[in-house]
């Protein structure tokens, strides 16, 4: 599972390939970047590089846009989800530290 997460998060896919995978135009993909919905990395030559997680996010964004959801609403939802995920990760880390320190086991 950990390898799956690292595999999905590696930024190795070009914008052209992302366009083919998602059905979005390169302009739409750049627009979603401008709207701070997706965050590609830049190669040494300045080209955008995306991850498989980015591709999944772009497909989700496109589906929501087709349903009439505004980009601002999508961004707010993404921020809320990230905050929740960060809190869950923090709680898991604290629980692990408590388990290690006191020999507790999760039930």
- The DSSP-derived string for 4-43 is HHHHHH---EEHHHHHHHH---HHHHHHHHHTTS---EE-
Q: What pLDDT shows up at residue 6?
A: 83
- pLDDT 10s digits, 41-99: 999 999 999 999 999 999 999 999 999 999 999 999 999 999 998 999 999 999 888 88
The single residue listed with the structure tokens 């989800």 is 81
Residue 7: partners with Cβ closer than 8 Å, 6 or more residues away = 52
- Helix-then-strand count for the chain, H and E: 5, 3
- pTM, full prediction: 0.77
2-11, 23-32, 66-75: the lowest-pLDDT one: 2-11
């Amino acid at each position: 599972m950990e390898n799956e997460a690292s595999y999905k998060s590696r930024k190795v896919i070009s914008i052209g390939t992302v366009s083919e995978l998602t059905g979005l135009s390169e302009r739409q993909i750049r627009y979603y970047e401008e709207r701070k919905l997706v965050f590609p990395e830049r190669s040494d030559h300045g080209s955008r590089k995306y991850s498989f997680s980015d591709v999944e996010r772009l497909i989700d964004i496109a589906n929501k846009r087709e349903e009439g959801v505004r980009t601002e609403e999508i961004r707010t939802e993404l921020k809320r989800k990230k905050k929740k995920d960060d809190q869950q990760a923090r709680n898991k880390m604290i629980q692990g530290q408590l388990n290690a320190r006191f020999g507790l086991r999760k039930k």
